Structure 1
Amino acid sequence: MAGKLSFSLVSPEREVFNGLVDQVDAPGVEGDFGVLAAHAPFMTALREGQVTVYDGANKRVFTVHGGFADVTPAGLTILAEAATEVAAA
């Protein structure tokens, strides 16, 4: 079984999400990307769009308005200009 990814989503007002998850998909300026545990390090700017967080059968969706994503050996941190969770339908 694959390990968990440490993920943090931060906006200027507060930390919107912090936890161990299976996968995060995000809207990069050069295209959407997904991050799993042990992903190669990289940094990219984000465009407006949705960040989808997968943890087992659970899925949470956040809307972000720009910012940066930083993947390190410790995990993924997204510093968003603005971020809000999308209400479940």
Structure 2
Amino acid sequence: MADLHFTLTTPERQVISDDVYMVVVPGTEGEFGVMAGHAPFMTTLRDGELAVYRSAGAQPERIRVSGGFAEVGDAGLTILAESAEA
């Protein structure tokens, strides 16, 4: 079930804003996965790839990101990246 709201934005544009199952994020302290109901927190990103799972068991959509911040809260996962490309 796709129930985590995920938004990825760069200074140039909004890359994605959709409900997904899970996102694996390259944090500066290591990769972490976010699903609906995750505890709130904020962290910085390292250059790497996001893995966006649209549904359980699906192949991930990979999006390369450079720098930025990730925030998990009541509204879901919001990533503000310096740059992003599929």
Class of the TM-score when normalised by the shorter of the 2 chains? over 0.9
Give aligned-pair identity as a percent: 52
TM-score computed with the length of structure 2 as normaliser: 0.92
Map of 2:21 onto structure 1: 22
- Contact preservation (8 Å) 2:2, 2:19: no
- Runs of at least 4 residues off by over 2 Å: none
Which amino acid in the other structure matches residue 46 of structure 2? R
Which amino acid in the other structure matches residue 44 of structure 2? A
TM-score computed with the length of structure 1 as normaliser: 0.89
How far is the alpha carbon of 1:59 from its aligned partner?
A: 2.2
Which amino acid in the other structure matches residue 81 of structure 1? E
Map of 1:42 onto structure 2: 41
**How many residues align structurally?**
84
SS at match of 1:17: strand
Which amino acid in the other structure matches residue 84 of structure 1? E
RMSD of the alignment, in Å?
Answer: 1.2
